[in-house]
Amino acid sequence: MTVLAFTALLFAGAAAAGLVGALTGLGGGVVLVPLLTLALGVDLRYAIGTALVAVIATSSGAAAAYVREGFTNVRIGLFFEIATTFGALLGAYLAPSVPAAAIAVIFGTVLLASSAFSWRPRPPDAASRTPDPLATRLRLNGSFPSLSGEQAYFPRRVPLAWLFMGVAGALSGLLGIGSGALKVLSLDVVLGLPYKVSTTTSNFMIGVTAAASAGVYLGRGYIDPALAGPVVLGVLAGSALGARILAATRSNVLRVVFTAVVLVMAVQMILHGLRGAA
């Protein structure tokens, strides 16, 4: 394969990763790591480093539009980012000594259960009827634009969500992917945010978490500019397109896309872990 063809393939794959990441709040690693390792034969450690850079680009490309349109809850993002950043630093430093195969299997299993749990029917307007005292004191309540006008929401179970966010950050540092999946599930299932608020706030958060991990990978020499350059450009293009699509897309459609991607990622992680343990 020529250098030009390799670069073009990188750009196209990164654009697809940016689009998926912007629509689902997962970041680009879920698409990029398999593309780099399986299709292009890149070493896993370099693929993870490149994926972390792509996640930063995804967050930068989509977050500004989501904040401007009123979907992202910046205060929730900054509050829970403290937990994910500490988790990401811990995970990145533990990565060389922790058996990634076992973590991958456990993580895939958790994703399967969590994605199924996210489809559990909810009482209508339950979040708006029961404001949480702690969330109110922390000023985490907010509103977002919907088809019927501005809609208020009230987060709940803040301590449990904090724990989930710490675990999400640690997994980001250990595996380079997956942090966005647990973040969306934490915001959607645990906090009880509207789905568009969950995905856009996750997009806002993942860049900071990835930056914390990427610094460690950069220091170890696992970020190659020849890989990262085309990836960043492609991800920015894809995430900008995804930000335009999300505003006009129904939440149920986004939830289906998210569930499909998470299921593929969960099966892939379980198989990867089982192969590594064998």
122: left (phi over 0), alpha (psi -120 to 50) or beta: beta
Q: Where are the beta strands (DSSP E) in the chain?
A: 142-146, 149-153
CA distances from 111 to 97, 115, 196, 238, 244 (A): 23, 6, 19, 25, 27
Q: What is the pLDDT along the chain (278 residues), one digit of tens a residue?
A: 788 888 888 899 888 888 887 777 776 677 787 778 877 888 878 888 888 888 887 777 677 778 888 888 999 999 998 998 888 788 878 777 777 677 777 777 777 776 776 666 655 554 445 788 999 999 999 988 877 778 899 998 999 999 989 887 787 677 655 567 778 888 988 898 988 898 889 888 877 777 777 887 888 888 888 888 898 898 888 888 887 887 777 878 887 887 887 788 778 778 877 876 55
The pLDDT of residue 159? 94
Tokens describing residue 159: 């301590």
Q: How far apart are CA 123 and CA 135, in angstroms?
A: 20
Residue type, 10: L
The pLDDT of residue 127? 45
Tokens describing residue 90: 């811990």
Contacts 24+ apart (CB under 8 A), 202-205: 202/25, 202/26, 203/21, 203/22, 203/25, 203/27, 203/58, 203/59, 203/62, 203/63, 203/66, 203/72, 204/59, 204/63, 204/66, 204/67, 204/72, 204/74, 204/77, 205/59, 205/77, 205/80, 205/81, 205/84
Concatenated DSSP letters for 14-82? HHHHHHHHHHHS--SHHHHHHIIIIIS---HHHHHHHHHHHHHHHHHHHHHHHHHHT---HHHHHHHHH
pTM value is 0.75
The pLDDT of residue 251? 75
How many helices, marked H, and strands, marked E, lie in the chain? Answer: 12, 2
Nearest CA-CA partner of 18 in 77, 62, 50: 62
Q: How far apart are CA 48 and CA 136, in angstroms?
A: 38
The pLDDT of residue 80? 92
Q: Is 144 helix (H, G, I), strand (E, B) or coil?
A: strand
Tokens describing residue 33: 């790591």
Q: How far apart are CA 90 and CA 242, in angstroms?
A: 31
The pLDDT of residue 126? 45
143: left (phi over 0), alpha (psi -120 to 50) or beta: beta
115: left (phi over 0), alpha (psi -120 to 50) or beta: alpha
Phi then psi dihedrals of residue 148, to 5 deg: -100, 10
